[in-house]
Amino acid sequence: MKYAAFCLNSDSSKTRVGSISADGTLVEEFDLGVDVSEDGIVAILRADLHGKLPKPIASHAFDEIRLLAPVPRPRRNIFCVGKNYHEHAKEFSNSGFDSSVKPGEDIPSHAIFFTKPPESVTGPNTNVIIPTAISTAIDYEAELTIVIGKGGKGISEAVAMKHVWGYTAINDVTARDWQQRHKQWFLGKSFDTFCPMGPWVVTADQLDANDISVKCWVNGELRQNSNTKDLIFDIPNMIATVSAGITLYPGDLIATGTPVGVGIGFKPPKYLVNGDVVVVEMGGIGKLENTFIEK
């Protein structure tokens, strides 16, 4: 199934959730009896975990709605993995922006984690702000993102996939100068609007996580074109690593890293500028499009 958070064009004040119809032409709205303005599809997830998915109460054509981030405001920071594709790890290490690398350590021996705050989340077809007063070195990163279903702590790799409820896409937007200057990744990846998410969530039973294409276009130019087959640390490893000491909860999000082709990989770097349109696409999920605007 594909589940979306949305609002009606005629009533933008209310966040709604529903499933995408089998033919992809309609959104079937659910009434879960709760305010879903922050949870979005996590409200569906919780109902699903309890075996209480309701029947649709209304159908809406896509031209009648505006898609929102599937999880408009996550309950806590999004877990993110850095340098998790072989070619990107080399690309980043050679860029001069990687303060974590030591000679001969292009490929990390353990997964590198950082987080993005809830305030960074924005939805499909929204503007991402280039904050020119503090940075113009803004880069894109297409990433498959895991939605945790059943929570837990100390989850083993052997059972980790049973804790995955679904997948979505994010663009891990990054201010490269902040990333380099502050010797860590949190600040430069956490500005407001720096986490576009969407267009919806696809449940885990619909995808083979070991074979999902990951692509990104900037103004129609294909910049990233890879596949989760190239992951250094696979999804079971990521879940086991995080949950070893941190309890995971339903609705937690783990962004799995970006492949080769980001802006800093070019000589000179190709940073995003006013009016650039970035499209992230995950195979079997869909396209996430955003326009970058100076402010």
Read off the pLDDT of residues 205-226 as tens digits, 9 standing for 90 and up: 999 999 999 999 999 999 999 9
Is a pLDDT exceeding 90 seen at residue 104? no
Mean of pLDDT over the chain: 95
Read off the pLDDT of residues 158-203 as tens digits, 9 standing for 90 and up: 999 999 999 999 999 999 999 989 988 999 999 999 999 999 999 9
Three-state SS across 46-71?
A: HHHHCCCCCCCCEEEEHHHEEEECCC
Q: pTM of the full predicted structure?
A: 0.95
Is a pLDDT exceeding 60 seen at residue 103? no
Read off the pLDDT of residues 75-100 as tens digits, 9 standing for 90 and up: 999 999 999 998 777 877 666 666 66
What's residue 106's pLDDT?
Answer: 79
User: What secondary structure does DSSP assign to 6-59, as a single string?
Assistant: EEETTEEEEEEEEEE-TTSSEEEEE--SS--TTTTTHHHHHHHHTT-PPPP-EE
d(CA 155, CA 146): 15
Q: What percent of the chain has pLDDT over 90?
A: 91
d(CA 28, CA 24): 10
Read off the pLDDT of residues 34-66 as tens digits, 9 standing for 90 and up: 999 999 999 999 999 999 999 999 999 999 999
CATH topology of domain 78-294: Fumarylacetoacetate hydrolase; domain 2 (3.90.850)
Residue 174 is which amino acid? T
Strand 142-148, strand 138-139: pairing: unpaired
